[in-house]
Amino acid sequence: MDKTREISVADFSLTNLPDDYYEDPYLYYRALREQAPIHRFADGSYLFTRHADLARIYRNPKVFSSDKKKMFKPLFGDTLLYEHHTTSLVFNDPPLHTHVRKAIGDALSQKTLVAMEPGLRKLTIGLLDKIEAEGEFDVISDYAVLVPVDVIGNLLRIPHEDRGVLQRWASAILGALEFDLSKEKRDYGNRCVKEFLDYLTALVEDRRKNLSDDHDDILSRLIKWEADGFVLSDKQLYHQCIFILNAGHETTTNLIGHSVYCLQTHPRQLQLLKENPELIDSAIEEILRYEAPVQLGNRLTTEEVQFDDVTIPAETILTFAIGAANRDPAMYPNPDRLDITRHPRNHMAFGGGIHTCAGLNVARLEARVTIPALFNRFPKLKITGEPVRDKRARFRGILSLPMSTH
């Protein structure tokens, strides 16, 4: 039976999601795409689920603004979470966005990636040695979490001993973007922004004292950035750092976690990859399409727009479902099938347009190194317990996945 027929999306709301949504949001996305592709929420905002509509939104940053002041003021009030989420480049339009993007520049270029790879391989081998010694392990906490923290820590040259706390801060600050935010979570998110700011104030002061032309890490670049009379204020600088540190690890942890889980639960696909290791790049793109770590995005209309027969006024908040666009049959035949030979063109896991993920090749490299290394090292790898899913709508990931190497 077609389960989507049973789902009525007339009252679908992101603030009141059914329990089974977190297990399989794709059933709901499909029902939305089929029954209400331009779905109006009770508060007058809209949800989009078709690939073509998302492509249009991404292509027109002037009409579909990333500025989040209107959206976040009622959620966060006059707080540090508001200051953070409205100052970072991802939630701003040009000119701030353009400057920060340029400042990051080739800190995430191919040259940086090539330089990064040997260290990443060494780190991976060290983690696999520990896993081998244990035999039983959790692939999320013992592997998928540890690689991105190290990589993003290196990119900003964060001292090794300070990296442990980054994941807690990131999870609380990004978690505050969820739709059903409780007062406790909001307060905790604000505390984490404060701790992060205090930490960065000291770090930046120290970095400024010891800045040299040799330093090409992202933090030094942002400190040194000056163009057309524009320099980042301290506040702007700190919030870009917080965003980049947060953006760079939780999402990649979830890509690594999904990759292990998807391949392990699709043994024919895993076998195909083992027999054809050159399929790794296509496999990673397909897993990104199939289980996008960032599921939802937002924009604000700056003028009246028309989608089909729906007229949407200026100043309307739009939510769009990347997870739905990535499974749109108009774009990907048989979209609910994981097929590592697919080479999924124009999937939206990294967004699109001027805000396309600046770290996409870093994330790809991390997956390309860690996934084959794990499966090659442990041919008898198996899942030994139930995966624990993160109950969040905006970010999708696995919190815990017990495994054994034998």
In the bound state with ligand HEM, the residue whose beta carbon lies nearer, of 65 and 190, is 65
In the bound state with ligand HEM, the residue whose beta carbon lies nearer, of 37 and 148, is 148
Pick from 348, 360, 144, 99: nearest CA to 247: 360
In the bound state with ligand HEM, the residue whose beta carbon lies nearer, of 80 and 294, is 294
Report the nearest approach of ligand HEM to the CB of residue 152 (Å): 6
Report the nearest approach of ligand HEM to the CB of residue 319 (Å): 11
Which DSSP state fits 182?
-
In the bound state with ligand HEM, the residue whose beta carbon lies nearer, of 171 and 405, is 171
Report the nearest approach of ligand HEM to the CB of residue 58 (Å): 7
Report the nearest approach of ligand HEM to the CB of residue 107 (Å): 9
Q: Residue written as tokens 């499909």?
A: 30
d(CA 403, CA 263): 13
d(CA 151, CA 146): 9
Residues 300, 67 contacting (CB under 8 angstroms): yes
**Please, what's the b/e burial string for 6-17 (b: 16 or more CB within 10 A of its CB; e: otherwise)?**
ebebeebebeeb
Q: State both tokens at 56.
A: 């249009």
In the bound state with ligand HEM, the residue whose beta carbon lies nearer, of 186 and 355, is 355
Report the nearest approach of ligand HEM to the CB of residue 218 (Å): 8
Which DSSP state fits 27?
H
In the bound state with ligand HEM, the residue whose beta carbon lies nearer, of 7 and 107, is 107
Name the residue with the smallest CB distance to ligand HEM.
359
Q: State both tokens at 271.
A: 């076998």
Residues that bind ligand HEM (CB under 6 A): 66, 89-90, 97, 101, 108, 152, 155, 244, 247-248, 251-252, 255, 293-294, 297, 349-351, 355, 357-359, 362-363
- β-partners of residue 227 are 230
In the bound state with ligand HEM, the residue whose beta carbon lies nearer, of 362 and 403, is 362
Interacting residues of 335 by C-beta distance below 8 A, sequence separation 6+:
326, 327, 328, 329
Report the nearest approach of ligand HEM to the CB of residue 174 (Å): 11
Report the nearest approach of ligand HEM to the CB of residue 28 (Å): 20
Please report, as a single letter, which amino acid is at residue 244: I
- β-partners of residue 307 are 310
Pick from 328, 337, 400: nearest CA to 48: 328
Which DSSP state fits 385?
S
